[in-house]
Structures are given as structure tokens and as C-alpha cells.
Amino acid sequence: MITVTASGITPADLIAVARGNARVTLAQDALDAMRASRSIVDAIERDGRPVYGVSTGFGALANTFIAPERRAELQHALIRSHAAGIGAPMPREVVRAMMLLRIRSLAMGRSGVRPEIAAGLADLLNADITPWVPQHGSLGASGDLAPLAHCALVLIGEGWVLAKDGTRISAVDAGVSPIALSSKEGLALINGTDGMLGMLLLAIADAAHLFTMADVTAALSIEAMLGSDRPFMPELHTIRPHPGQAASAANLHRLLQDSPIMDSHRDDLEHAVQDAYSMRCAPQVAGAARDTLDFAATVAARELLSIVDNPVVLTDGRVESTGNFHGAPLGFAADYLAIAAAEVGAIAERRVDRMLDVCRSRDLPPFLTPDAGVNSGLMIAQYTAAGIVAENRRLASPASVDSLPTSGMQEDHVSMGWAATRKLRTVLDNLCSILAVELLSAVRGLQLRAPLTPSVAGRIAMAAVEEHAGQPGPDVFLAPVLEAVRSTVSGRDLLTAIEREVGTLA
């Protein structure tokens, strides 16, 4: 059970709800904060004061006065008109994350809504009712207006729900009990960065795992290519004190110890004095990505403490318009992390290409097949990785610099944070596939070094991959093998097994 308090939630709470189906409840301090905030809005209603979003229209219609008897109608009309997305549905985990984050923001007591509104969203989560949120519609302007409106529409008993089989059904057919909105509540349900923050937090969790797995696959590739572990000695990284670089180098050095394969060429004077950049500079690239991840996590942590509604209801009774809903901090962080993740994949693909090239692989057979010619081995698997690297380079182009004015020039600079976080998730999904190709290639290389045996990590990885790929031999239908190895990369079992033997990796 995740309890949402007036001070918010943690990234772990979000993962538990979005991916682990944890139930949600509201703490007493959150209920009290919302009631106090609502009492201020009720007082404004009684006094007849003009306040944006309470007694006026929205966006370019901010100067249009709304009569008291039509203000509830205004809130429902706002939700219907803003639920204007189009395209395939967003993944269930993203929508659940977005809903939890909207509960979190309302629970902080600066939005002027009744506790019933936040409780209604929690009820949807607990009943496993996921609104159908189209992928297109948000500019990250006043936050994620259209995606949040699609969620709010289900709360009022309208709109679409994502059925268990992936189809679309109506909120009525899903059994939703509608909630009637009062003044300010419709606006409070849709003004926020919850979609882009939810995707960024999910991406941060995925990137943390994949960056560690990138060190694992790099170490196995270096071992398979008879590389050196000397560039990863700690004293070589204290003289360039980037924390991510030191962490990645420590991982690589630890993973390459106790390896008969590595020991076989330590005293070979004809062995290469320096490994190629894709081997020797692995911690410099992966480490820079880790530091970028730390930056993104810092931004996301700040946003988790933020109130991003507009207008906000201050505890002294004022209701003030803000720009806190603008998604620039999240868009910048997502674009930066996408660049870093793309480079982690790019250097991994270079190691794959090197392992497959008989001129550079240090006596491994062409394309890692013992019978090259009749068999092509992993030739086309490298093509696949190269194609994905090319796509990631296109996706690494920042979305956050591509503002377009909207709402009659009232919203004349938007963040594109929704687009930035969406494509970040695609980059990370692609990175997982690239690392799967590297893991398969590295294991093939280690197998082909027999009778020499690899490191502890290498032996564990070989056992895991051999379940799906078997031993080197005649060509097989490779796509199912790659899919299985991809699941090995994305899952936690292989990393857990390696850490059980070599210690926790950064």
C-alpha cells in the first residue's frame, strides 16, 4: 500500500504503483491540506472575486467572465474539450504513473480541490481502471493538458478505458462511478507535468539497470577479444575524478578478475599495447552517461517536491497564477539522458562489430561462427544493432528546442517535454536490444575461446545465454534467440546472479 501524504511520494512509490499494482491511499495530512485549500476557493466563490480558472475562462479566454451558475459546467466542458489526443494508447504503466502524480500534486493542498477528487483517482488505480490516453496531444505547455484531460474524463464517467486485452471500451462499460466537478477542479486535474515526470521517473529506473548491464556486456566483450583490464585500475580514474567514470571502471575491473582467458595473454609481448577506444574508453562513455543519469534523477526529485498547478492556492488565501507547469526542466533532462543512452548503445555496437571482424577480433572466427561461408553467424545481428544505433541517433536530437506557439499566442513558448520523455523511453528500449546483441556476441566469443574458461561473470552469462542460444554451430533462426537474450538483459536475474558471486555493482 502506497500512502500519499501532503509532502508527496518517492520514486519507489511510483514504480510500485505503475508497475507493481500497489494500492493507493491518502494520508490524513493530505486530506486536511486539501480541505483547507478548498475552503479558500469556496470563499472566493462567495465573494465573487475574479480569479483565473475559478470565475474566468482558460488560456486565451482568461479575460472571459463566467457566471457562478455555469462554473461547474465550465469545468466539465474544459475536460471534454481538452481530451483531444489522437493516436495509439500510452502504455498502462505510464498512465498509472501519471494518475498517481496528479494525486500527489492535489494532495499537497495548493490546488483548491475537494479530497473526493484525489480519492476518485485513487479509486480508479485501485480498481485497475486505466484511462485510454492517446500518445499525441501534449506540448508540455501548461503541463500535459490533453493526456491528463483523458484521465480526468474517465473520472467524470466519460471517455475511454484501456481494457485488459488492449482494446478500448467506454468508461460506462468499465463500471466507472462518475464524480461531479466543482469550480477550479477541472483545471486542477489537467494542469501539471505528471505525464512527462512519470515517464522520466520510469526511464530513470530503466536507465540505471541498463547502464549497469552495459558494463557487464562490455566486460564480457573485452574478455572475449583478449583485451586488457589494466585501463580500469582505480588509480587511473582518481586522476580524472568523474564519479560515473570511476564507478563504471570499478565494475569492469571487478568483472574481469579471476579469468583464465585474461590470464592467458597478460605476459604476451606481441599482444596489443593499447586496446581500441570502444574497449579502453568504455568507462569514460558509460561513466558520462551515469553522471547524466544522476542529473536527470536530481531534476526528477525536485519535481516530485513541486506543486505544478495553475493557479495555485496559497495558505494565506491568495490565488496566484504561475508558470510552474512549464516542462522545460524535465524536457532538458530527458533530452540529455537520451543523448547519453544513445552513446552507450553506440559504443556497444562498435564492440560487436569488432568481435565479428576476423581482422580485429584477435583470432575469433569470422562473424563468430566456426564454419564461416556456409554459415553467417551473427553477421546480420550486428546489422540489426547498427540500424538501432542509427535510429537512436535520430531520436537523440533534442525535442526541447522545438517550441511551437499555441492558444492564440498566449502559450507562445512550450517545452515539448512530453515528446522528450516519450522518445527517451524509446531510446532506452532500443539500448536494451543493442545490449542483447552484445551479450549474445560476447558469449559466443567466450565459448569460442575454449578450452580456456572465462571469468565468474562470463561463466554465469554463458550459462544464461546457452539456455536460448546453445553452443556455436550451424546457423539457426536467430530472431527468437535475440528476443530471449533481450529479456535476459531487461530482467534482473542475470545481474543478480553475477552480483551474488562478484559483489554489488554500481
Rounded CA-CA distance 431/340 in Å is: 11
Exposed/middle/buried for residue 175 (C-beta within 10 Å: 0-12, 13-18, 19+): exposed
The yes-or-no answer on residue 336 being catalytic is no
- H helix and E strand count, the chain: 18, 9
In the beta sheet, which residues pair with residue 8? 5
Which of 52, 277, 336, 383 is an active site residue?
52
The CA distance from 495 to 286, in Å, is 17
Residue 255: all three cell numbers together: 568483472
Residue 338 C-alpha cell reads as: 537520451
CA separation for the pair 78, 503 (Å, rounded): 54
Phi-psi region of 409 (alpha: psi -120 to 50; beta: other; left: phi over 0): left
- CA torsion 300-17-106-26 (nearest 10°) is -130
Specify the residue for cell string 568504455.
Answer: 282
SS3 of 79-117: HHHHCCCEEEECCHHHHHHHHHHHHHHHHCCCCCCCHHH
Say which residues have a Cβ less than 8 Å from residue 162's Cβ, sequence separation at least 6: 89, 92, 95, 130, 131, 132, 168
The full 3-state SS of 466-501, as one line of letters, equals HHHHCCCCCCCCHHHHHHHHHHHHHCCHHHHHHHHH
**Inter-CA distances, 271 with 57, 267, 350, Å:** 74, 8, 20
3-state helix, strand, coil in the chain (%, to 5): 55, 5, 35
Q: How far is CA 31 from CA 5, 203, 389, in A?
A: 9, 30, 48
CA–CA dist 5, 30 (Å, integer):
5
Which residue type sits at 468? H
Q: Annotated catalytic sites, by residue?
A: 52
